[in-house]
A and B are shown apart, each in its own frame.
Chain A
Amino acid sequence: MKLELRGITKRFGSLVANDGIDLVVESGQIHALLGENGAGKSTLMNVLFGLYQPDEGEILLDDVPRRFRGPGEAMAAGIGMVHQHFMLIPVFTVAENVMLGHEPTRAGGVLDLPAARRLVREISERFGFDLDPDARVEDLPVGVQQRVEIVKALSRDARVLVLDEPTAVLTPQETDELMETMRRLAGSGTSIVFITHKLREVKAVADTITVIRLGRVVGEAPPTASTAELATMMVGRDVELTVHKDPPRLGAEAFVVDGLTLFGAGGVRLLDDLSFSVRGGEVLAVAGVQGNGQTELAEVIVGLRSKASGSIRLDGEELLGRSVRHVLAAGVGFVPEDRKADGLVAEFSLAENIMLDRSYGPPFAHWYGIDFRARDAVAERAVEDFDIRTQGIGAPVGRLSGGNQQKVVIARELERDLKLLLASQPTRGVDVGSIEFIHERIVEVRDSGVPVLIISTELDEVMALADRIAVMYRGAIIDIVPADTPRERLGQLMAGVVA
């Protein structure tokens, strides 16, 4: 089916997320939508899917103008979508998730589960998916959950399939498999909109590429375009895609984790006997597909989870079992993976956020209250040093762009004298310009002799920053390898393949 979007504009208050976007997706094509985080890709697709109503513009399917008041109507018209954040009900089985909304029933609205199971098996066999219709979705790895989403869309005969950042949660091998599935679907006449911000993937699979920046289409490109060209279109200026760093000047083993184990509800091993160490002046990057224990590792180190066993020593001092405040005071700088939830208070001003981790003492507080002058001085300096684009240090951080918010977090953590920098997803949802900047700051910290522990699910980031790479799989570190390990090998490790 041919899909055409004409002049789509969508505003959120004063923010124009989509500004007159035109897009034509031919039948049976894989059309890549390339753009930085916050460019407006998801918004555009949610408009197409009927989740948002466009302020202007129209949607045409096979040249017929259509209007979708809700996702139900979009689906009925043949549009399927695999959302960036999966739309699956964790406590439902695969079959229940697939049938939800168009349930096969017997007399009286009684669910026909066998029919739903058959449907799941039939579609997954067509793509070699091997899904168990009776497995509970929450028990499945993310990669498999994504297949459930694809089966869900196909079970409604989607003829336009939108995949919103589908590779963010996959290992490189799984990504290859997904691309194979996309090709097969396109071959059978399904039009595919493939959203991503990863250039390599676009070049590998797309028939046509549309680049959007700040809510506008900035151009189209064939997949033969060079990576540098695409990057320039996406970012709007020349970018450096690699981080320059000198060989590490290694210090002593400063940060040592030994036998760290953590159990979750129901006795699941969230962390499985982790042992590693980071030396001063070294970046150890923890790679792995999301959900393999990285979040828990960071939380345990900072002291957010109390029931772990093993030991965590920083310069010989045991940190496990100590309070968060103690850990931070010991010199741990912590960049949490979700800045909105854990890194910042959106309603607070930039200056207030800058002092959050040391609100109780110098240089920000006296015994009788806050030293506003000192606070503002530090905030001003952070804005200057980190090139934070803001209306002023009094503006709520919630109004800053993702990249600038992240800079606030990084600025706050680097403001102190650090003995360890722990950064989780330091550049998630951050524009390319800020990524470069943040990476440079991290390398500076390393070069000043501080041990750095990076946790990232972006393999590119891991490879750019790491001096050594630890790969996590199902709560365990299955190997620690040198930074120059080939991408394929890392992908295998991320999938749990040891040999």
Chain B
Amino acid sequence: MTAPATAPSSSLGGQLAAPRSWRVPIVLAVVAVLSLIWFVVFGKDDPTRFTWSDPGDVLYLDPTPANPRVLGIVLGVLSLAAAAASFRWAWRRRPVPVWLSLIVGIAFLVSLVAWVGAGGQITVESLLTSTVSLSTAIVLGALAGVIGERVGVVNIAIEAQLLGGAFTAAVVATTTHSYELALVAAMITGAAISAVLAWFAITFLVDQVVVGVVLIALVTAITNFFYQQVLADNSAQFNDPGTLPRLAIPGLADIPVIGPVLFDQRLTVYLMFLLVPFVWFMLYKTRWGLRVRALGEHPLAADTVGIKVNRSRFWTVTLAGLIAGLGGASLTIGYAGAFVQEMSAGKGFIALAAVILGRWNPWYAALAALLFGFATSFRIWAGGAGAAIPSDLIAMTPYLVTIIAVALVAGRVVAPKASGKPYIKS
């Protein structure tokens, strides 16, 4: 601009400055103090043994005994420090970085695990491995959801895509004895369900939420029907796929803890690991991604530069369905080894929550999905650990953590502006 002199940004007597946003620091401080009270004041002194490897492992690490109270003090102080740091950020009117919140969150979870496991042992490896297994479908579903919303279509039907993918993967793997075919079939199923959603939403302008809910009901009914009529009585013929083999990556798989969690997994998990950065890269670094994001923000503007709005939206949502379908396969041939009625069990909805909690960003959405997976894994483990207090109560805490996490990110609205809005041309 050419203005030689501009008005002072603040007028005389303007001691008034922008109000600072204290929400994040306050939440962090509350969590830190709460964890100090819970894990220190009401702390336990029976040592918890963190075991890192199985006795038969190539690289064996001795279990680490830890006093939960001492651990609670250390981590609680760390959290307090992080909260204090976040106050500094807020004081300078800058957004508190996500990693500070992550530190506090993880410190809380570790203290909680140590507290629950007091007097016993915690097999860190199995806790984390099961977190990964239980998160796979959620992560993949969330990735599909992120792409859909980025291009402007709310994919409520992730649940249906997971369920459909799980079903086809099991049946195809059993009948053809080919896991490759089963994966492909599951992905196509996911894409097909997405395509129906996109078609109705884009061509007939049916409300996206309504189509999504109808699709979920439909796919649930169909898979229930076939399960009861066909699969249940002929499981050897149709529903006995087994699971994908574990592919241990030589060398890396032997690293304690990290090895089994990251490098001794099934194909579906590896694909998940690869897809998160891949989707991020595609969305933010490629021509395709730029157009996708443009369509989700301002479809008319995209139209005026020659991008075919509805066609692109349709194909993008359909392709994203491939990923959700893969997530479905991860439930059967990637984990359970057979199809069970309604086995997606709300994971699609949790994936949707992960999309929002993850601010429509593949990395954050995957992190959010992992948090949900951990919550489930923790509940299973805590139930078995035989803690003194009711396990249901303990099982609640990860959800509490989630709600806190939501409180931290809520308010910063970055949703794609045109998400869920149909584009109607004159």
Query: CB within 8 Å of B: which residues of A?
Result: 12, 49, 51-52, 70-73, 75-76, 81, 83, 87-92, 96, 99-103, 105, 108-111, 141, 143-144, 152, 173, 177, 261, 263, 266-269, 272-273, 309, 473-474, 476, 478, 495-499
CB <8 Å contact, B307 and A101 = yes
Q: Taking the nearest CB of chain A, how far is it from the CB of B282, in angstroms?
A: 9
Within 8 A of A (CB), among B300-314: 300-308
Q: A101-B306, A111-B290 are in contact. Are A309 and B16 (CB under 8 A)?
A: yes
CB <8 Å contact, A100 and B286 = no
List 14 additional A-B contacts (Cβ < 8 Å) besides A102-B306, A273-B16, A496-B7: A71-B304, A75-B305, A75-B306, A76-B306, A87-B300, A91-B414, A92-B290, A105-B286, A109-B288, A152-B305, A268-B18, A474-B7, A476-B11, A499-B5
Cβ contacts under 8 Å, A272 to chain B: 9-11, 14
CB <8 Å contact, A51 and B304 = yes
Closest to A273 in B: B11
CB <8 Å contact, B302 and A101 = yes
Name the one of B1, B10, B287, B308 contacting A141, with C-beta atoms under 8 angstroms: B1
CA A98 – CA B9 in complex, angstroms?
A: 30
Closest to B309 in A: A70
CA A91 – CA B201 in complex, angstroms?
A: 25
Cβ contacts under 8 Å, A143 to chain B: 1
Closest to B281 in A: A110
Q: Taking the nearest CB of chain B, how far is it from the CB of A106, in angstroms?
A: 10
CB <8 Å contact, A177 and B2 = yes
Cβ contacts under 8 Å, B13 to chain A: 273
Interface string of B2-36 (1 = CB under 8 A from A): 11111101110110111111000000000000000
Chain B facing A: main interface SS = loop
Interface assignment of B379: CB less than 8 Å from any CB of chain A: no
CB <8 Å contact, A100 and B93 = no
Within 8 A of A (CB), among B34-92: none
Q: Taking the nearest CB of chain A, how far is it from the CB of B314, in angstroms?
A: 16
Interface assignment of B297: CB less than 8 Å from any CB of chain A: yes
Interface assignment of B291: CB less than 8 Å from any CB of chain A: yes
CA A102 – CA B287 in complex, angstroms?
A: 9
Closest to B20 in A: A267
Q: How many A-B residue contacts, CB cutoff 8 Å?
A: 130
CB <8 Å contact, A101 and B305 = yes
Closest to A173 in B: B2
Interface assignment of B426: CB less than 8 Å from any CB of chain A: yes
Q: Taking the nearest CB of chain B, how far is it from the CB of A73, in angstroms?
A: 8
CB <8 Å contact, B287 and A103 = yes
Cβ contacts under 8 Å, A83 to chain B: 304
Cβ contacts under 8 Å, A100 to chain B: 290-291, 294, 301-302, 305, 307
CB <8 Å contact, A267 and B2 = no
CB <8 Å contact, A71 and B305 = yes
CB <8 Å contact, A49 and B304 = yes
Within 8 A of A (CB), among B160-180: none
Closest to A268 in B: B18
Q: How many residues of B contact A (CB 8 A)?
A: 41
Closest to A495 in B: B3
CA A103 – CA B287 in complex, angstroms?
A: 6
CB <8 Å contact, B286 and A108 = yes
CB <8 Å contact, A473 and B1 = no
Closest to A492 in B: B3
Cβ contacts under 8 Å, A92 to chain B: 290, 293-294, 297
Closest to A49 in B: B304
Cβ contacts under 8 Å, B298 to chain A: 87-90
CB <8 Å contact, B305 and A87 = yes
Name the one of A72, A267, A273, A496 contacting B3, with C-beta atoms under 8 angstroms: A496
21 A-B residue pairs with Cβ-Cβ distance under 8 Å, sorted by A, are: A51-B304, A72-B305, A81-B304, A88-B298, A89-B293, A100-B307, A101-B305, A103-B287, A105-B287, A108-B286, A110-B287, A111-B285, A111-B287, A141-B1, A263-B19, A267-B18, A267-B21, A269-B10, A272-B14, A474-B6, A495-B3
CB <8 Å contact, A102 and B305 = yes
Cβ contacts under 8 Å, A268 to chain B: 18
Q: Taking the nearest CB of chain A, how far is it from the CB of B187, in angstroms?
A: 21
Within 8 A of A (CB), among B177-234: none
Q: Taking the nearest CB of chain B, how far is it from the CB of A98, in angstroms?
A: 10
CB <8 Å contact, A89 and B304 = no
Q: Taking the nearest CB of chain A, how far is it from the CB of B160, in angstroms?
A: 30
Cβ contacts under 8 Å, A109 to chain B: 286-288
Q: Taking the nearest CB of chain B, how far is it from the CB of A207, in angstroms?
A: 26
Q: Taking the nearest CB of chain A, how far is it from the CB of B400, in angstroms?
A: 28
Q: Taking the nearest CB of chain A, how far is it from the CB of B20, in angstroms?
A: 7
The 9 closest A-B pairs by CB, nearest first: A72-B306, A267-B18, A101-B305, A87-B301, A496-B6, A103-B287, A478-B7, A87-B304, A273-B11
Q: A89-B298, A267-B93, A268-B18 are in contact. Are A474 and B9 (CB under 8 A)?
A: yes
CA A100 – CA B300 in complex, angstroms?
A: 13
Closest to B297 in A: A89
Cβ contacts under 8 Å, B6 to chain A: 473-474, 496-498
Cβ contacts under 8 Å, A51 to chain B: 303-304, 426
Closest to A91 in B: B297
Cβ contacts under 8 Å, A75 to chain B: 305-306
Closest to A477 in B: B11
Within 8 A of A (CB), among B250-302: 285-288, 290-291, 293-294, 297-298, 300-302
CB <8 Å contact, A111 and B294 = no
CB <8 Å contact, A52 and B305 = no
Q: Taking the nearest CB of chain A, how far is it from the CB of B2, in angstroms?
A: 7
Closest to A309 in B: B16
Max chain B CB contacts within 10 Å: which of A81, A111, A478? Answer: A111
Closest to A310 in B: B16
CA A263 – CA B19 in complex, angstroms?
A: 8
Cβ contacts under 8 Å, B302 to chain A: 89, 100-101
CA A266 – CA B413 in complex, angstroms?
A: 11
CA A204 – CA B16 in complex, angstroms?
A: 44
Q: Taking the nearest CB of chain A, how far is it from the CB of B320, in angstroms?
A: 17
Name the one of A89, A269, A476 contacting B294, with C-beta atoms under 8 angstroms: A89
Cβ contacts under 8 Å, A478 to chain B: 7
Q: Taking the nearest CB of chain B, how far is it from the CB of A270, in angstroms?
A: 10
Max chain B CB contacts within 10 Å: which of A101, A109, A272, A498? Answer: A101
CA A440 – CA B45 in complex, angstroms?
A: 84
CA A73 – CA B298 in complex, angstroms?
A: 20
Cβ contacts under 8 Å, B3 to chain A: 495-497
CA A89 – CA B416 in complex, angstroms?
A: 11
Cβ contacts under 8 Å, A499 to chain B: 5
Q: Taking the nearest CB of chain A, how far is it from the CB of B55, in angstroms?
A: 47
